[in-house]
Chain A
Protein backbone atom coordinates (compact mmCIF):
# COMPACT_ATOMS: atom_id res chain seq x y z
CA UNK A 1 0.00 0.00 0.00
CA UNK A 2 1.28 3.47 -0.91
CA UNK A 3 0.95 6.43 1.42
CA UNK A 4 1.58 10.18 1.61
CA UNK A 5 2.75 10.13 5.19
CA UNK A 6 6.18 11.59 4.53
CA UNK A 7 4.74 14.53 2.55
CA UNK A 8 1.99 15.24 5.09
CA UNK A 9 4.50 15.07 7.92
CA UNK A 10 6.93 17.37 6.13
CA UNK A 11 4.10 19.87 5.43
CA UNK A 12 3.67 20.22 9.18
CA UNK A 13 7.41 20.25 9.81
CA UNK A 14 7.20 17.20 12.05
CA UNK A 15 9.96 14.66 12.48
CA UNK A 16 9.21 10.92 12.51
CA UNK A 17 9.65 11.03 16.29
CA UNK A 18 7.12 13.91 16.57
CA UNK A 19 4.53 11.92 14.62
CA UNK A 20 5.31 8.74 16.57
CA UNK A 21 4.73 10.59 19.84
CA UNK A 22 1.42 12.00 18.65
CA UNK A 23 0.27 8.47 17.72
CA UNK A 24 1.87 6.77 20.74
CA UNK A 25 3.88 4.34 18.61
CA UNK A 26 7.62 3.93 18.10
CA UNK A 27 9.58 5.97 15.56
CA UNK A 28 10.46 2.70 13.79
CA UNK A 29 6.76 2.12 13.10
CA UNK A 30 6.43 5.50 11.36
CA UNK A 31 9.62 4.83 9.40
CA UNK A 32 8.38 1.38 8.28
CA UNK A 33 4.99 2.79 7.22
CA UNK A 34 6.60 5.64 5.24
CA UNK A 35 8.88 3.20 3.45
CA UNK A 36 5.96 0.91 2.61
CA UNK A 37 7.46 -1.94 4.60
CA UNK A 38 4.55 -2.11 7.00
CA UNK A 39 0.83 -1.44 6.57
CA UNK A 40 -0.66 0.08 9.73
CA UNK A 41 -3.60 -1.45 11.56
CA UNK A 42 -7.03 0.05 10.93
CA UNK A 43 -7.09 1.81 14.34
CA UNK A 44 -3.70 3.40 13.61
CA UNK A 45 -4.83 4.42 10.11
CA UNK A 46 -7.88 6.11 11.66
CA UNK A 47 -5.66 7.87 14.20
CA UNK A 48 -3.49 9.14 11.34
CA UNK A 49 -6.56 10.33 9.43
CA UNK A 50 -7.83 12.17 12.52
CA UNK A 51 -4.44 13.72 13.17
CA UNK A 52 -4.02 15.00 9.61
CA UNK A 53 -7.76 15.81 9.36
CA UNK A 54 -8.03 13.90 6.10
CA UNK A 55 -10.02 10.87 4.92
CA UNK A 56 -8.01 7.64 5.08
CA UNK A 57 -8.10 7.27 1.27
CA UNK A 58 -6.27 10.59 0.91
CA UNK A 59 -3.40 9.23 2.98
CA UNK A 60 -3.31 5.61 1.82
CA UNK A 61 -3.93 4.14 -1.61
CA UNK A 62 -3.63 0.63 -3.08
CA UNK A 63 -0.33 -0.21 -4.78
CA UNK A 64 -2.15 -0.64 -8.11
CA UNK A 65 -3.22 3.05 -8.31
Chain B
Protein backbone atom coordinates (compact mmCIF):
# COMPACT_ATOMS: atom_id res chain seq x y z
CA UNK B 1 0.00 0.00 0.00
CA UNK B 2 1.55 3.38 -0.94
CA UNK B 3 1.79 6.37 1.44
CA UNK B 4 -1.21 8.28 0.11
CA UNK B 5 -3.34 5.16 0.32
CA UNK B 6 -2.30 4.55 3.95
CA UNK B 7 -3.37 8.08 4.98
CA UNK B 8 -6.58 7.71 2.94
CA UNK B 9 -7.27 4.37 4.62
CA UNK B 10 -6.76 5.92 8.09
CA UNK B 11 -9.11 8.77 7.20
CA UNK B 12 -11.71 6.41 5.73
CA UNK B 13 -11.69 4.26 8.88
CA UNK B 14 -12.20 7.32 11.06
CA UNK B 15 -14.96 8.65 8.81
CA UNK B 16 -16.80 5.34 8.96
CA UNK B 17 -16.57 5.09 12.75
CA UNK B 18 -17.68 8.75 13.08
CA UNK B 19 -20.72 8.00 10.92
CA UNK B 20 -21.53 4.87 12.95
CA UNK B 21 -21.28 6.93 16.15
CA UNK B 22 -23.58 9.55 14.62
CA UNK B 23 -26.16 6.84 13.77
CA UNK B 24 -25.97 5.30 17.26
CA UNK B 25 -26.25 8.73 18.93
CA UNK B 26 -29.25 9.59 16.75
CA UNK B 27 -30.89 6.30 17.76
CA UNK B 28 -30.26 7.09 21.42
CA UNK B 29 -31.65 10.64 21.13
CA UNK B 30 -34.71 9.27 19.28
CA UNK B 31 -35.35 6.54 21.85
CA UNK B 32 -34.86 9.08 24.67
CA UNK B 33 -37.53 11.29 23.10
CA UNK B 34 -39.82 8.27 22.75
CA UNK B 35 -39.27 7.28 26.38
CA UNK B 36 -39.84 10.85 27.61
CA UNK B 37 -42.82 11.90 25.52
CA UNK B 38 -44.34 8.54 24.46
CA UNK B 39 -46.25 7.77 27.71
CA UNK B 40 -48.08 11.10 27.54
CA UNK B 41 -48.58 11.53 23.80
CA UNK B 42 -48.54 8.05 22.21
CA UNK B 43 -49.72 5.29 24.56
CA UNK B 44 -51.56 7.02 27.42
CA UNK B 45 -49.23 5.84 30.22
CA UNK B 46 -49.48 2.12 29.39
CA UNK B 47 -46.84 0.63 31.73
CA UNK B 48 -45.84 -2.22 29.40
CA UNK B 49 -45.13 0.14 26.52
CA UNK B 50 -43.26 2.51 28.83
CA UNK B 51 -41.07 -0.38 30.05
CA UNK B 52 -40.44 -1.37 26.42
CA UNK B 53 -39.43 2.22 25.62
CA UNK B 54 -37.02 2.18 28.58
CA UNK B 55 -35.55 -1.14 27.39
CA UNK B 56 -35.15 0.32 23.89
CA UNK B 57 -33.43 3.38 25.34
CA UNK B 58 -31.04 1.17 27.35
CA UNK B 59 -30.16 -0.82 24.22
CA UNK B 60 -29.63 2.35 22.18
CA UNK B 61 -27.47 3.74 25.00
CA UNK B 62 -25.39 0.55 25.01
CA UNK B 63 -25.01 0.75 21.23
CA UNK B 64 -23.89 4.38 21.51
CA UNK B 65 -21.27 3.48 24.14
CA UNK B 66 -20.02 0.58 22.02
CA UNK B 67 -19.80 2.84 18.95
CA UNK B 68 -17.91 5.43 20.96
CA UNK B 69 -15.31 2.89 22.12
CA UNK B 70 -14.96 1.62 18.54
CA UNK B 71 -14.49 5.22 17.44
CA UNK B 72 -11.78 5.75 20.07
CA UNK B 73 -9.98 2.61 18.89
CA UNK B 74 -10.05 3.79 15.28
CA UNK B 75 -8.34 7.05 16.21
CA UNK B 76 -4.67 7.79 15.88
CA UNK B 77 -2.99 7.78 19.31
CA UNK B 78 -2.68 11.59 19.53
CA UNK B 79 -6.37 11.98 18.72
CA UNK B 80 -7.26 9.29 21.28
CA UNK B 81 -5.10 10.93 23.98
CA UNK B 82 -6.73 14.29 23.22
CA UNK B 83 -10.24 12.85 23.54
CA UNK B 84 -9.44 10.98 26.77
CA UNK B 85 -8.00 14.13 28.34
CA UNK B 86 -11.02 16.10 27.13
CA UNK B 87 -13.26 13.55 28.87
CA UNK B 88 -11.33 14.00 32.13
CA UNK B 89 -11.65 17.79 31.83
CA UNK B 90 -15.35 17.47 31.01
CA UNK B 91 -15.91 15.32 34.10
CA UNK B 92 -14.27 17.94 36.33
CA UNK B 93 -16.00 20.92 34.73
CA UNK B 94 -19.40 19.20 34.83
CA UNK B 95 -18.96 18.19 38.46
CA UNK B 96 -18.08 21.72 39.58
CA UNK B 97 -20.81 23.42 37.54
CA UNK B 98 -23.46 20.82 38.44
CA UNK B 99 -22.88 21.33 42.17
CA UNK B 100 -23.29 25.11 41.72
CA UNK B 101 -26.34 24.63 39.48
CA UNK B 102 -27.91 22.23 41.98
CA UNK B 103 -27.47 24.79 44.76
CA UNK B 104 -29.20 27.60 42.85
CA UNK B 105 -32.82 26.49 43.53
CA UNK B 106 -32.03 26.11 47.25
CA UNK B 107 -30.63 29.64 47.23
CA UNK B 108 -33.79 30.73 45.41
CA UNK B 109 -31.79 32.09 42.46
CA UNK B 110 -33.55 29.63 40.11
CA UNK B 111 -37.04 28.16 40.35
CA UNK B 112 -35.83 24.64 39.50
CA UNK B 113 -32.80 22.84 38.03
CA UNK B 114 -33.33 21.02 34.72
CA UNK B 115 -31.25 17.82 34.25
CA UNK B 116 -31.15 18.50 30.48
CA UNK B 117 -28.96 21.54 31.15
CA UNK B 118 -26.29 19.25 32.60
CA UNK B 119 -26.17 17.39 29.26
CA UNK B 120 -25.68 20.76 27.56
CA UNK B 121 -22.75 21.55 29.87
CA UNK B 122 -21.22 18.12 29.16
CA UNK B 123 -21.51 18.61 25.40
CA UNK B 124 -20.10 22.15 25.34
CA UNK B 125 -17.28 21.31 27.79
CA UNK B 126 -16.27 18.27 25.75
CA UNK B 127 -16.22 20.10 22.42
CA UNK B 128 -14.27 23.07 23.84
CA UNK B 129 -11.83 20.73 25.64
CA UNK B 130 -11.12 18.72 22.48
CA UNK B 131 -10.54 21.87 20.41
CA UNK B 132 -8.31 23.51 23.05
CA UNK B 133 -6.19 20.41 23.70
CA UNK B 134 -5.84 19.63 19.99
CA UNK B 135 -4.76 23.18 19.15
CA UNK B 136 -2.26 23.21 22.02
CA UNK B 137 -0.55 20.12 20.65
CA UNK B 138 -0.74 20.75 16.93
CA UNK B 139 -0.34 24.51 16.56
CA UNK B 140 3.08 25.88 15.64
Contact = CB atoms under 8 A, between A and B. Distances in A.
Interface of A is mostly: helix
Interface residues of B, number: 13
A9 to B, nearest CB: 14
Contact of A29 (B3, B6, B77): B77
B104 to A, nearest CB: 39
B7 A31 contact: no
Interface residues of A, number: 18
B117 interface: no
A27 B6 CA distance: 12
A30 B113 CA distance: 45
B95 interface: no
13 contacts: A17-B7, A21-B3, A21-B4, A21-B6, A25-B76, A26-B7, A26-B76, A26-B78, A28-B137, A29-B78, A37-B136, A37-B137, A44-B77
